[in-house]
Amino acid sequence: MSSEDGAAEAGARPGKPALAPDTWTPTVPDRRTLRAEVWLVLWVSIAATGLRALLSLVDSLTKGTPLRQQTQSLIVTYVADRPWLDVLYQGTRIGLAMVPVLLVIHLMRRSGEGMRALGFDFRDLGRDLLKGAALAAIIGITGLGLYVAAFNLGFSVRLAAVDLSGGWWNAAWPILYAAYNAIVEEVIVLAYLLHRADQLGWAPWKAIATSSLLRGAYHLYQGFGGFVGNIAMGVIFAVLYRRWRRVMPFIYAHFFIDVVAFVGYVLLHGKVPWLP
């Protein structure tokens, strides 16, 4: 017996075949398994958040106070009097929210496709950034107009400004929240969902509608304006993603939009008369 055969025999457990990674060929699961995978990923991430947002909207509607007289914080502050504990709370919240993305990465690698199949890489950084910036400008300006109109019509809550005072961590949170929002939403509700929908044989309109409705449901806590606005954004993103097959431009666009929304609102609040 050769030394290699002896090592292989020693490494194998009795009654179990030895695993040979170099001969194992991963494949995309069957349709039933794939369908279960998609719904499980959604329910541990975007769908669960959408359900909580729906309950938040129901709570707002049943308070008897018009939506425009209610305030919704963009970022939750936990323990302002103990900054070190607030940093831990915020960091834990962001870290746990990223776990579903890690799950998607694992599932895509296990199926043998990898995240390049979703365009989640830096191969085309310059072009992706330009596309993201252009999308952010178009969607951001349109979205701001829609929010102001919806607020004035009583269909949206007032969004509370982020407090940037008190320490470096308060200035860092909007950037970190913008990054995690962009990665979680675009990787899962856009790229992963549309990719798996194609593999499941969904019609394009069904995939786009599902992705867009999930995005809208995720923002129901903002009121009906946020719901409708994000559905429109979802349709545009889904149509373009099916053409480009790269998720990075949409991550950058979402990140730019959220940074401007979080930080820009603080800088302009009280100075621009038409801004709620």
Six token digits for residue 15? 């009654």
Residues 6 or more apart whose CB falls under 8 angstroms from that of 69 comprise: 158
Query: In this predicted structure, what is the pLDDT of residue 61?
Result: 82
Mean pLDDT, 10 residues at a time, over the chain (276 residues)? Answer: 48 49 64 95 92 86 78 63 79 91 96 95 97 95 81 73 63 85 96 97 96 92 85 96 98 94 71 65
Nearest-10 Cα torsion for 252, 256, 259, 260: -170
Contact 219, 146 (CB under 8 A): no
Query: In this predicted structure, what is the pLDDT of residue 160?
Result: 64
Query: In this predicted structure, what is the pLDDT of residue 9?
Result: 46
Query: In this predicted structure, what is the pLDDT of residue 8?
Result: 46
Query: In this predicted structure, what is the pLDDT of residue 172?
Result: 79
b/e 64-80 (16+ beta carbons within 10 angstroms → b): eeebbeeebebbeeeee
Cα–Cα distance, 214 to 30 (Å, whole number): 24
Distances (CA, A) of 177 to 61, 142, 197: 27, 22, 28
Query: In this predicted structure, what is the pLDDT of residue 80?
Result: 60
Query: In this predicted structure, what is the pLDDT of residue 147?
Result: 77
Cα–Cα distance, 175 to 161 (Å, whole number): 14
The closest of 141, 150, 45 to 53, measured between CA atoms, is: 45
DSSP states of 28-63: PPPHHHHHHHHHHHHHTTHHHHHHHHHHHHHHHHTT
